[in-house]
C-alpha cells in the first residue's frame, strides 16, 4: 500500500537515502494515513547520526532541537521536519525521561521504544509499510495496545497512561484488557508527570470523538489528576431532570457538546461542586443551590494547578458560572447573559448549555431548540447595537461624577443604569439616564 507523502517530506527521505542511509516516516503520520486522516505533521527516523544528518543538509537550515536525544529539525521548502536517529532509550529513573540514549543502526530498535502498536509503524516508498508489532491488525480491530509489556511502558513514562486514554477518546478505540489493567494499577504514577504535559493530553482527550466511554471507564484515573472528581463518581442526583450520576452526566455532556476546547473544559468542571452543595428535600428530591458559583471557584483553582493560560481560566470559569440559567426565549434573559459573559463568549455559553441539557432526561432535549432561538435573538441584539454593557450607555463615569457619585459608587450606579435599561424600565437616552441617576443619588444621599 502506498502512502502519500508531501513533496517536502519525500525530499528529505530521498536526500538521506541518496547519501546511503535508511529513512522512513514514522509514528502518528503513518497511523493517520492508514486511517484516512490527513497527518498534522510528519516525523522521520533514520540510521544517520545527528552529525551525518546535518552534513546531508549542509545547504539547508538545520535546527538542533533535541540533538542530545538524536533529533534535529530540517527546514524543507519552508516546512519544519523533525528527523531523529534510530535509538535505544536507557532507564527511565524518573518515570518521565530516559536517563541516557544510545544511537542505533537498526530500525527495529527504534520501533521497540514506541508506546503503542498503532504508533510503531514506519514507511517509505521503497519498503512500503514496516509493521513489526501488529499495528495494522490493531488498527483494523480498533484497539490500543502497548508495544511490549504495558507495565514497562508506563513505568518508563507515566504520561503514556494519559496518551492511551487520549487515543481511545480521540479515535474511538478500545483499550486492550492487559493495558487497561495496567492503567488502573499504575495510575498513581501520573503524579510524577508535570501539569503542563497532563493538561495537553487532557485537552486532546476532551475534544476527541468519543470521550464518554473513556471518562466513565477510567474515572479513577481522572480522579488522580483532578482529585475533586472523586466525590462526583457514582453520586446520585435524586433529580427528575437527571438520568445519570454526577460524573456520568459530566461525561455525557462532554460527548454531546461541540468539540470546542473551552466548551468541553467548562463541561468537565461545570458540576464539580455538586456533591458539596447537595440538599435532599422532604420529598426526596435533590437540590444543588449555588453549585454553579462554587463550581466556578473550584474550577479556577483546578485550572490554575493544571497551568492553564489565564485567558482560558477566565473564560471557562465564566461559562461555568452562568451555565445553570434555564433556557427561555426571552429578550431580557438574552441581554442579561450577553451582559454577563460578553458577545464573544455568548455562543460558547449556548454550546455549554446545550451539552448540559442533552445529558439530562429526554424532556430537557426540547431546551436545545430554545437555545438556538436565544442564539438568534443575541445576533439580532448585537446587529441592532442594543444596550447590553456599560459602554453602550449614553452616559459615562464623568457624568456620574458631576452628579456627585464618587469612588466605587460610579461603577455601581452605571451597573444600576444598565440593569434598568435591560429590564426596559428606562430608555437608553441621555436625558432619561441622567434623570434616573440624579433621583437615585438624591434618595440614597438622604438615606446615608
Residues 6 or more apart from 226 whose CB is under 8 A from it?
302, 306
**Strands 79-85, 71-76: pairing kind:** antiparallel
Q: Is the dihedral of CA 50, 53, 58, 61 positive or negative?
A: negative
List, for residues 353-390, the tens digit of each pLDDT value. 999 999 999 999 999 999 999 999 999 999 999 999 99
CATH, domain range 7-141: 3.30.460.10
The string of DSSP codes covering 234-247 is T-----TT-SS-HH
Domain 226-386 has CATH 1.20.120: no
Distance CA 243, CA 113 (A): 44
Domain 142-225 has CATH 3.40.50.300: no
Q: Which residue has the higher pLDDT, 131 or 98?
A: 131
Q: For the chain, what are the domain ranges?
A: 7-141, 142-225, 226-386, 391-447
Residue 407 — pLDDT band, cuts 50, 70, 90?
very high
Q: Measuring CA to CA, which residue among 371, 366, 286 is closest to residue 328?
A: 371
List, for residues 45-98, the tens digit of each pLDDT value. 999 999 999 999 999 999 998 888 899 999 999 999 999 999 987 666 655 666
Query: What is the reported pTM?
Result: 0.93
> Which residues are 41's β-sheet partners?
none
Q: Would you state the pLDDT for residue 66? A: 87
Does the pLDDT value for residue 9 go beyond 80? yes
Amino acid at each position: 500500500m502506498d502512502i502519500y507523502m508531501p513533496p517536502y517530506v519525500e525530499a528529505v527521505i530521498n536526500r538521506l537515502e541518496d547519501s546511503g542511509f535508511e529513512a522512513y516516516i514514522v509514528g502518528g503520520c503513518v497511523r493517520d494515513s492508514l486511517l484516512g486522516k490527513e497527518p498534522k505533521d510528519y516525523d522521520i527516523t533514520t540510521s544517520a547520526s545527528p552529525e551525518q544528518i546535518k552534513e546531508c543538509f549542509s545547504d539547508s537550515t538545520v535546527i538542533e532541537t533535541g540533538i542530545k536525544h538524536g533529533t534535529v529539525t530540517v527546514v524543507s521548502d519552508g516546512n519544519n521536519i523533525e528527523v531523529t536517529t534510530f535509538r535505544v532509550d536507557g532507564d527511565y529513573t524518573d518515570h518521565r525521561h530516559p536517563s541516557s540514549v544510545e544511537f542505533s543502526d537498526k530500525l527495529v530498535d527504534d520501533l521497540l521504544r514506541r508506546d503503542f502498536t498503532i504508533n510503531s509503524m514506519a514507511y517509505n516508498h521503497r519498503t512500503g509499510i514496516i509493521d513489526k508489532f501488529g499495528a495494522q491488525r490493531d488498527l483494523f480491530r480498533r484497539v490500543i495496545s502497548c508495544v511490549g509489556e504495558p507495565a514497562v511502558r508506563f513505568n518508563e513514562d507515566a504520561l503514556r497512561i494519559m496518551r492511551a486514554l487520549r487515543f481511545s477518546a480521540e479515535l474511538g478505540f478500545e483499550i486492550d484488557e492487559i493495558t487497561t489493567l495496567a492503567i488502573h494499577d499504575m495510575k498513581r504514577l501520573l503524579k510524577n508527570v508535570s501539569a503542563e504535559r497532563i493538561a495537553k493530553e487532557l485537552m486532546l482527550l476532551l475534544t476527541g470523538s468519543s470521550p464518554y466511554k473513556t471518562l466513565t471507564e477510567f474515572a479513577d484515573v481522572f480522579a488522580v489528576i483532578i482529585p475533586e472528581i472523586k466525590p462526583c463518581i457514582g453520586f446520585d442526583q435524586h433529580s427528575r431532570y437527571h438520568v445519570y450520576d454526577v460524573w456520568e452526566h459530566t461525561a455525557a455532556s462532554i460527548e454531546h457538546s461541540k468539540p470546542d476546547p473551552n466548551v468541553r473544559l467548562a463541561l468537565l468542571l461545570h458540576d464539580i461542586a455538586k456533591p458539596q452543595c447537595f440538599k435532599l428535600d422532604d420529598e426526596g428530591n435533590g437540590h444543588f443551590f449555588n453549585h454553579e458559583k462554587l463550581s466556578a471557584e473550584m474550577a479556577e483553582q483546578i485550572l490554575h494547578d493544571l497551568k492553564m493560560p489565564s485567558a482560558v481560566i477566565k473564560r471557562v470559569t465564566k461559562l461555568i458560572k452562568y451555565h445553570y440559567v434555564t433556557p427561555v426565549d426571552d429578550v431580557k434573559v438574552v441581554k442579561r447573559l450577553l451582559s454577563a459573559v460578553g458577545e464573544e463568549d455568548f455562543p460558547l455559553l449556548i454550546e455549554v448549555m446545550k451539552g448540559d441539557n442533552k445529558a439530562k432526561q429526554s424532556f430537557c432535549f426540547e431546551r436545545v431548540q430554545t437555545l438556538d432561538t436565544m442564539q438568534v435573538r443575541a445576533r439580532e441584539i448585537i446587529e441592532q447595537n442594543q444596550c447590553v454593557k456599560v459602554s453602550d450607555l449614553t452616559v459615562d463615569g464623568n457624568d456620574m461624577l458631576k452628579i456627585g457619585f464618587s469612588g466605587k459608587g460610579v461603577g455601581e450606579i452605571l451597573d444600576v443604569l444598565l440593569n434598568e435599561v435591560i429590564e426596559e424600565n428606562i430608555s437608553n437616552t441621555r436625558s432619561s439616564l441622567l434623570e434616573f441617576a440624579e433621583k437615585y443619588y438624591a434618595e440614597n444621599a438622604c438615606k446615608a
